[in-house]
């Protein structure tokens, strides 16, 4: 029987302007302006699967922030929870993709307005109301890395309250060392959040880097010890390990693919999986849906692929 959800999905995080440099060329004459951010990528791919999605972040009041909001509206994202901070402008990253589809990043984001999202009582109240009205809330390790200790405490309390009220809190660790003060800070925040999570979608390579896990099975066992009911450990071309209801399943990728661009591979898998779960599919079927969507995404350049490429899904 399909689960009936009365609220939509709320995704929390940062989206930045993207300047992309194609493989094999260099110089500003070849740059292309787009946008990207892990939780925003997942939100868009969920919205394209007919899931109602809202995005929570903060932008400035400049023309580039206007442009971002316009693009998100075109993707059927609810932008009513995007805060606008006067005199500010969004973060920026420069991406270079090599011939094998692997990426190199440079960031300008230290003063991005999203870092002040939870510094104001009125903004916090609006975020809290949005989260309370959702069925699913989605965030990532990058989301956790955005905030100072005070704001992090606010976010943790907000998510604890939501979890206690029955909201399904979903998390992808997506550990990026450059975004953190230290590895110990990242571990502390992850472990503080785990007790309030219902669905976790880690990538094994990230978990090995942060926690020293020896295998996807080790990752699943460690996370299950916190009482997390549903765990999906992504392991690249090997597929993913799903833990649910005390059972474990390996779900293989449908076929081997030579990637054009691995940007948003994990984000799109998460979108396929969470959309399927939101719509009532079982975890193994949801994992297959995640693999299928990720296969399409890594076959195209950029974080957000053309809608037409997803029609067969």
State how far the Cα of 202 lies from the Cα of 192, in Å rounded to an integer. Answer: 16
Asked whether 8 and 256 are in contact (CB, 8 A), the reply is no
Question: In the beta sheet, which residues pair with residue 248?
Answer: 243
68 by Cβ neighbours in 10 Å (0-12 / 13-18 / 19+) ranks as buried
Give yes or no: 267 in active site: yes
The Cβ of residue 38 has, within 10 Å, a number of other Cβ atoms equal to 25
Residue with tokens 């692929």: 305
Give CA separation, 75 vs 8, 44, 68, 177, in Å: 15, 6, 11, 30
User: Could you tell me which residues come within 8 angstroms of residue 29 by beta carbon, excluding any fewer than 6 positions away?
Assistant: none
The residues annotated as belonging to the active site are 267
């Amino acid at each position: 029987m399909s689960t009936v959800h009365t609220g939509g999905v709320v995704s929390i995080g940062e989206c930045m302007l993207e300047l992309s440099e194609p493989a094999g060329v260099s110089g500003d004459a070849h740059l292309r302006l787009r946008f990207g951010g892990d939780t925003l990528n997942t939100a868009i791919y969920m919205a394209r699967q007919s899931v109602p999605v809202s995005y929570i972040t903060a932008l400035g009041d400049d023309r580039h922030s206007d442009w971002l909001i316009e693009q998100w509206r075109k993707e059927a994202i609810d932008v009513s929870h995007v805060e606008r901070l006067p005199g500010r402008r969004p973060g920026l990253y420069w991406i270079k993709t090599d011939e094998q589809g692997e990426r190199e990043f440079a960031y300008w984001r230290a003063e991005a307005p999203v870092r002040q999202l939870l510094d104001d009582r009125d903004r916090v109240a609006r975020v809290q109301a949005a989260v309370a009205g959702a069925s699913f809330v989605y965030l990532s390790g990058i989301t956790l890395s955005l905030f100072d200790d005070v704001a992090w405490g606010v976010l943790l309390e907000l998510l604890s309250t939501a979890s206690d009220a029955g909201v399904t809190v979903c998390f992808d660790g997506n550990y990026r060392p450059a975004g953190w003060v230290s590895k110990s800070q990242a571990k502390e925040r992850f472990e503080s959040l785990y007790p309030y999570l219902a669905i976790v979608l880690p990538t094994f390579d990230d978990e090995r880097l942060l926690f020293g896990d020896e295998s996807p099975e080790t990752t699943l066992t460690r996370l299950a010890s916190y009482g997390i009911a549903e765990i999906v450990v992504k392991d690249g071309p090997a597929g993913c390990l799903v833990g649910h209801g005390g059972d474990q399943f390996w779900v293989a990728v449908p076929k081997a693919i030579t990637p054009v661009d691995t940007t948003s591979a994990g984000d799109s898998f998460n979108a396929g999986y969470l959309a399927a779960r939101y719509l009532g599919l079982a975890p193994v079927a949801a994992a297959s849906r995640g693999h299928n969507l990720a296969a399409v995404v890594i076959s195209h350049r950029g974080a957000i692929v053309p809608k037409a490429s997803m029609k067969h899904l």
